[in-house]
Amino acid sequence: MAANLKEVRERIKSVINTQQITKAMKMVSAAKLRKAQQAIVQMRPYTVKLNEILGHVIASLGGDAEFKLAKTREVKQALVIVITSSRGLCGAFNTNIIKTAVSLIQESYGRHRKEGKLSILCIGKKGFDYFKKHYSDCQIIGDHVHLIESYKAEPTDKLVESLIDSFETALYDRVQVVYGRFKNAATQFPTSEDYLPVPKINLPHTGKKKLKADYLFEPDKQTVLESLIPALLKIQMKRYIMDTSASEHGARMTAMDKASENAEELLKELRINYNKARQETITKELLEIVAGAAALGG
């Protein structure tokens, strides 16, 4: 019985230590989430406005708008960008993004994979580790851990510039992105979006009569479009990364909160078991004392 008491005490001590770790991780994730959430909240209005400006410019050109990055062509070579976190302990967050990417590949690029014409670019170590192990028949391009861990614009811009160059030179005919869209700390959505060619921009309907803006282009409309579209693509990639980063911290905070609650429940159960075992030990010792006293008295 003494051995059983010692085992339960060790388990209680272990659970308490684990609970302290999960609570600390929850606090760290909450602090990081505030920073990431602020960044994404500030980014989204800028992205929406840039889309609106580009849409108005294209609408003002009528059918005269032509640009390479929006030109659709037969998909001979495809690229899927998968954005995950580089660390675990965030519930099913990474697993859900990877499942969405796998589903996209199976539905849209099964033939390309068999023919060796599918590439996967991974941002984040978790996605990189998975696809390197299970998709050896595809070209896996880097883990780009530094992008998911930093909000610096320069490395992201360089990545987008290389993607633009690859699309223009027909190295890839289509590029899609799978990432974790952030809603709130408890809710994240694994999402896939078209990236290249640039999808058609739909302006919001206001119910008012559409007015055709009279734009003056300097130096010319083609140059303006060729400047606006790469800028939009860079902003979108930053948004994907920031969304995923905020989603990661939200998922980890939720997972650690749940782990702390589970540890508390386990502690209650272990303490009850410990008290029961201790009472049994005391009762047994009392019975032995009484039996000994009775034997001596007899």
Annotated active-site residue in 8, 15, 43, 90: 90
Count CA atoms closer than 13 A to 43's CA, side-chain side.
21
* Contact (Cβ atoms closer than 8 angstroms) between residue 120 and residue 130: no
Question: Catalytic annotation on 90?
Answer: yes
Catalytic residues: 90
